[in-house]
Structure formats: C-alpha cells, structure tokens
Amino acid sequence: MLVSLIPNIPPRIEEFSSKKIRRYGEQDISRLQFILSAKKAGFTLKEIKELLELDAQNDRERVRGIAQNRIAKIDIQILELKEARNALYHLIKECKKTDSKPCPILTAFVQK
C-alpha cells in the first residue's frame, strides 16, 4: 500500500471551522512525488520501498541494478505489445478481405 511508504511523521493538523486540514512538509511532498514517479515508471511498491531505503544508504550499485531490471521488464512488455499489435493488424486485414461470418478477429480470440 502506498501509505506504507510515507514515514510515520504525523502531519501538522490545522482546524478551520469544523474541518481538519493536514499540512505536510516539503520533504514529505518530495517523497510522495518520488513514489508517484517511480510507480508511473512501473516499479512495484516493494521496489520503491527498497529504492527509498537505498537512497539513505547511498548504494548506487544496487539502485542501478533495480533500474536495469525494470528496463529489462519494460523491454519484454514492449515486445509483447508489438506482437499483440502485429497480430491485431493482420486480423484487421483478414477482416477486410472477407464478408464471411464470423469475423476473423472474433474467432481469433475464441481460439486462444
């Protein structure tokens, strides 16, 4: 869970009328921005936690290893997406060629 990556430092709470507003410091905001950016890059919460811990230890070799592992996973995803795109492209061409039923696109998904 994302909340587990934010330190247990309680935010400053201010009360306005009947509402409580939490105020976080710059360091908290910076950490949250890092977490969100790393999540967007595809890192798991476990990997993000490790990256945050490694930052405190200045273990750049391990950080590079985690980043290289992420790149390898992204490369696999790219290949899989390209294969899926090519398969769909060919199915679309087949769908145009024939008026017979059922549509080749639909039958391809049933067969898999």
Q: Are residues 3 and 54 in the same domain?
A: yes
Q: Does residue 65 fall inside a structural domain?
A: no
* CA dihedral for 1, 48, 80, 97, sign (positive or negative): positive
Look at residue 44 in the predicted model and tell me its pLDDT.
94
* 78 and 48 in a common domain: no
Higher pLDDT among residues 16 and 26, named by residue: 26
Phi then psi for 15, rounded to 5 degrees? -105, 125
Domain tally, the chain: 2
85 in the same domain as 50 = no
- List the beta strands (DSSP E) in 1-112: 12-16, 19-23
**Structural domain for 28, as ranges:** 1-58
Q: Map tokens 């490369």 to a residue.
A: 75
77 lies in a domain? yes
pLDDT tens-digit map of 33-82: 999 999 999 999 999 999 999 988 888 999 999 999 999 999 999 999 99
pLDDT at residue number 90: 92
- Residue 109 sits in the same domain as residue 82: yes
Q: Is residue 43 part of a domain?
A: yes
- The pTM of this model reads 0.67
- Specify the pLDDT at position 5: 64
SS3 assignment, position 72: helix
Question: 66 in a domain, yes or no?
Answer: no
Q: Give buried/exposed letters for 59-78 (b at 16+ CB in 10 A, else e).
A: eeeeeeebeeebeeeeeeee
63 falls within a domain: no
